[in-house]
């Protein structure tokens, strides 16, 4: 039975860098998800006759929210919903399925790299027909709707059993349950040289992948173990859990602690890797060796010809402004286009749609290509395995040779967490106001060349976005300041530090950036304003 339910607005449903992200306790409030989903439907003129993709990373509230969304979609006249088996789908797979089916939109229920569980976070990423997350113009409209919503439509029906592949009906709507793992695995085997990687593993190459108890465990088991012959124990934490087993599914040196310890021990495997909650982020490690995501993007670009899917050539490359400039040097050497965009994968999508770029990446452990419109964690790991299989070189060797060829960007992100939102906003606006006066000023051994906000003018749709403030120094070092758009606890100030060296290639990163970190605090008056003498998190 179709029901129209009266509701009252929530005022905090503004999407951030990647969808709506909230504490689980907030997201599970009465009608909270319903309000948001109906506001999406209303913002796009309804979903009558449309097809959507639906799934999630398996975190707490996934199961409940999926049932609600299916019933609301049916009540709003949607024609078909394609749902991941048991309600699971990774973000990259969702983008693939959306494109393959020429669907009108999709929801991935995830807060990505944020912790899960009742005390963690929940979220919804909303993608449009292009396969990528909705542009700001659409999210603004949705936000306006959430502030005035008064009712939503839902079907009163039994819960849908999502365990079996196939089609069924929910009211007049068709539900197709798909096997996302198989679809994703097929895509990967069509892109990479699986025979060569199989040979690599058969030859004794040792490997570990940490799924962090999140969505990619089954994908990794299928691809690395079943299809490529890696040893069964090389895939760890591969059963998706509602609270990720207490892990913080953010693949970096801090939160993937166990993996990092193993990779820095004497019996470390040849390569280590991990993904985040929804499978779009990746981390690459060699034996006692860490590859920064910025370097990974540069190395992937420089080695594209080893990969069957790209061997005939690539378009340009793009990175977020906060990401190091390493890939820019490769683009220059290859003579391909090079773009800098704001933080958030959605800004890459127009560049991919218009064949301006093939690869793109962010410093936040995100790398990907135009095979989909999201970043792709397992794709990046397979890319590295394919390079290793083709060259016979180790992760460390590949990276060191890259530095020798192009120089090295020492790079680090410093996060200052849990700052009062007003304090953080004022720090940024005051810094922006001071920026014109910084040029020529000396801070320790660094002299400011130029300081300005980062403004991106999209060459495809003409939109303009301001995201972050950048200080450029005369020695090619850079500091980027921005506030996080994915946090759920006050404001997080992110300060990105980069120092470029062509001779000192083997130094300690923290040491190399120690003075620049001090300078970054001095320029923005971080300690005076936040009381923090040091960053809370270094990645
Ligand atoms: C962070 C990262 C950004 C990434 C975003 C979503 O955003 O810095 O690079 O695109 O998370 O990642 P912010 O605004 O907190 O800095 V995820 O893996 O959604 O999906
Ligand atoms: Co993610």
% of the chain at pLDDT higher than 90: 99
Atom 11 of ligand 1, residue of closest alpha carbon: 486
Domain boundary among 149, 178, 207: 178
On whether both 370 and 431 belong to a single domain, the answer is no
pLDDT of residue 488: 82
Least confident of 106-115, 486-495, 524-533: 486-495
- Residue carrying structure tokens 């020429």: 102
- CB count within 10 Å of CB 432 equals 16
Q: Is the CB of 362 under 6 A from ligand 1?
A: yes
On whether both 134 and 62 belong to a single domain, the answer is yes
pTM for the structure as a whole: 0.96
pLDDT of residue 241: 95
pLDDT of residue 487: 81
In the predicted model, what is the mean pLDDT of the chain? 97
pLDDT digits (tens, 9 = 90+) for 118-171: 999 999 999 999 999 999 999 999 999 999 999 999 999 999 999 999 999 999
The contacts of residue 175 (CB under 8 Å, 6+ apart) are 70, 80, 81, 83, 160, 167, 168, 169
Give 370 Cα–ligand 2 centroid separation in angstroms: 17
- Count of alpha carbons within 13 angstroms of residue 342, beta-carbon side: 26
Domain boundary among 359, 374, 406: 406
Taking residues 458-472, what's their average pLDDT? Answer: 95
> CB within 5 A of ion ligand 2: which residues?
112, 276, 278, 280-281
Question: What CATH number does the domain containing 221 carry?
Answer: 3.40.120.10
Number of domains forming the structure of the chain: 3
User: Which of 370, 403, 397, 371 lies closest to 384 in space, CA to CA?
Assistant: 397
DSSP string covering 173-242, please? EEEEEE-HHHHHHHHHHHHS-HHHHHHHHHTT--EEEE-TTSTTHHHHIIIIIIIT---GGGEES-S--T
Q: Is the CB of 294 under 6 A from ligand 1?
A: no
pLDDT digits (tens, 9 = 90+) for 19-60: 999 999 999 999 999 999 999 999 999 999 999 999 999 999
pLDDT digits (tens, 9 = 90+) for 237-264: 999 999 999 999 999 999 999 999 999 9
Asked whether the predicted pLDDT for residue 5 surpasses 90, the reply is yes
Domain boundary among 119, 143, 178: 178
Asked whether the predicted pLDDT for residue 330 surpasses 90, the reply is yes
- CA of 494, closest atom in ligand 1: 16
Residue of 212, 364, 379, 428 to test ligand 1 pocket, by largest number of atoms within 8 Å of CB: 364
On whether both 164 and 268 belong to a single domain, the answer is no
On whether both 377 and 445 belong to a single domain, the answer is no
Q: Which domain holds residue 355?
A: 183-406
How far is residue 338 CA from its own chain's centroid? 20
Please state, in angstroms and rounded to a whole number, the distance separating the CA atoms of residues 479 and 437.
16
Asked whether the predicted pLDDT for residue 266 surpasses 90, the reply is yes
Q: Is the CB of 145 under 6 A from ligand 1?
A: no
Token couple for 108: 């991935």
Phi, psi (rounded to 5 degrees) for 367: -140, 150
pLDDT digits (tens, 9 = 90+) for 339-390: 999 999 999 999 999 999 999 999 999 999 999 999 999 999 999 999 999 9
Query: Catalytic amino acids?
Result: 112
Asked whether the predicted pLDDT for residue 402 surpasses 90, the reply is yes
Please state, in angstroms and rounded to a whole number, the distance separating the CA atoms of residues 96 and 99.
5
Question: What CATH number does the domain containing 511 carry?
Answer: 3.30.310.50
Q: Is the CB of 331 under 6 A from ligand 1?
A: no
pLDDT digits (tens, 9 = 90+) for 518-538: 999 999 999 999 999 999 989
pLDDT of residue 489: 84
């Amino acid at each position: 039975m179709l029901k129209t339910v009266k509701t009252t607005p929530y005022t905090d449903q503004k999407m951030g860098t990647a969808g709506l992200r909230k504490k689980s306790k907030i997201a599970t409030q009465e009608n909270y998800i319903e309000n948001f989903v109906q506001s999406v439907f209303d913002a796009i003129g309804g979903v009558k006759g449309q097809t959507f993709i639906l799934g999630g990373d398996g975190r707490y509230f996934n199961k409940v929210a999926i049932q609600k969304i299916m019933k609301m979609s049916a009540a709003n006249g949607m024609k078909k919903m394609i749902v991941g088996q048991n309600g699971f789908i990774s973000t990259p797979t969702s983008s693939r399925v959306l494109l393959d089916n020429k669907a009108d939109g999709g929801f991935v229920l995830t807060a990505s790299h944020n912790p899960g569980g009742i005390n963690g976070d929940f979220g919804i990423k909303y993608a449009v027909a292009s396969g990528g997350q909705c542009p700001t113009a659409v999210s603004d409209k949705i936000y306006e709707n959430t502030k005035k919503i008064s009712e939503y439509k839902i079907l009163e029906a039994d819960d849908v059993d999502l365990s079996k592949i196939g089609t069924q009906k929910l009211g007049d709507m068709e539900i197709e349950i798909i096997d996302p793992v198989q679809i994703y695995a097929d895509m990967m085997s069509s892109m990479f040289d699986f025979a060569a990687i199989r040979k690599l593993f058969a030859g004794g190459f040792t490997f570990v992948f940490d799924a962090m108890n999140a969505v990619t465990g089954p994908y990794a088991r299928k691809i690395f173990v079943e299809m490529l012959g890696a040893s069964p124990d090389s895939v760890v934490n591969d059963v998706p859990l509602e609270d990720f087993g207490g892990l913080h599914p953010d693949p970096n040196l801090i939160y993937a602690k166990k993996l990092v310890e193993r990779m820095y021990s004497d019996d470390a495997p040849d390569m280590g890797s991990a993904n985040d909650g929804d499978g779009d982020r990746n981390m690459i490690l060699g034996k006692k060796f860490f590859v920064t995501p910025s370097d990974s993007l540069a190395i992937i670009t420089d080695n594209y010809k080893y990969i069957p899917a790209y061997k005939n050539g690539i378009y340009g490359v793009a990175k977020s402004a906060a990401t190091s400039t390493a890939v820019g040097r490769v683009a220059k050497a290859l003579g391909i286009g090079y773009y800098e965009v704001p933080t958030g994968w959605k800004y890459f999508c127009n560049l991919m749609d218009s064949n301006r770029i093939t690869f793109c990446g962010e410093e936040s452990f995100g790398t990907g290509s135009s095979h989909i419109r999201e970043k792709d964690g397992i794709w990046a790991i397979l890319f590295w395995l394919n390079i290793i299989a083709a060259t016979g070189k180790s992760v460390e060797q590949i990276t060191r040779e890259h530095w020798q060829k192009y120089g090295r960007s020492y790079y680090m992100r410093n996060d200052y967490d849990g700052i009062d939102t007003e304090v953080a906003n004022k720090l940024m606006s005051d810094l922006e106001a001071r920026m014109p006066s910084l040029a020529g000023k000396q801070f320790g051994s660094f002299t400011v060349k130029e300081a300005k906000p980062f403004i991106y003018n999209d060459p495809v749709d003409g939109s303009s976005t301001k995201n972050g403030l950048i200080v450029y120094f005369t020695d090619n070092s850079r500091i980027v300041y921005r506030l996080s758009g994915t946090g759920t606890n006050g404001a997080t100030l992110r300060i990105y530090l980069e120092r470029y060296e062509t001779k000192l290639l083997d130094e300690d990163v923290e040491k190399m950036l120690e003075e620049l970190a001090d300078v970054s605090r001095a320029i923005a008056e971080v300690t005076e304003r936040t009381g923090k003498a040091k960053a809370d998190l270094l990645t």
